[in-house]
Amino acid sequence: MAPINKLRKDEKEALLQAAVKFYNESPQVSIKGTAEKYGIAYSTLRGRLKGAESRVGGHQRLQVLTPYEENSVVRWCERLDE
């Protein structure tokens, strides 16, 4: 498996979600052991388990447009370009 810093954002998020699921379903496993198994920083996994949001999710409320509005603007621009 590639180091986590070489993966794309969506791949990192999927890996982190898998680690969270594994930890929650395995009562004998430690956070440190899970982080090592998935190649994720201990602090990142611990934070996510304590309720921290992903970078994308955490910054979503700071955006001027919602994802739906942004997609609408993109589609509108694409139609203008035709």
34-49 pLDDT per residue, tens: 999 999 899 999 999 9
Q: How many CB atoms lie within 10 A of CB 15?
A: 16
Q: Does 3 score more than 60 pLDDT?
A: no
Q: What is the pLDDT of residue 37?
A: 93
CA dihedral 59, 60, 64, 68 (to 10 degrees): 160
pLDDT-derived band at 2, boundaries 50, 70, 90: very low
Q: What is the CATH number of domain 7-81?
A: 1.10.10
Give domain limits for the chain.
Answer: 7-81
Could you tell me the pTM of the whole model? 0.58
5-64 pLDDT per residue, tens: 556 777 888 899 999 999 999 889 999 999 999 998 999 999 999 887 766 666 667 778
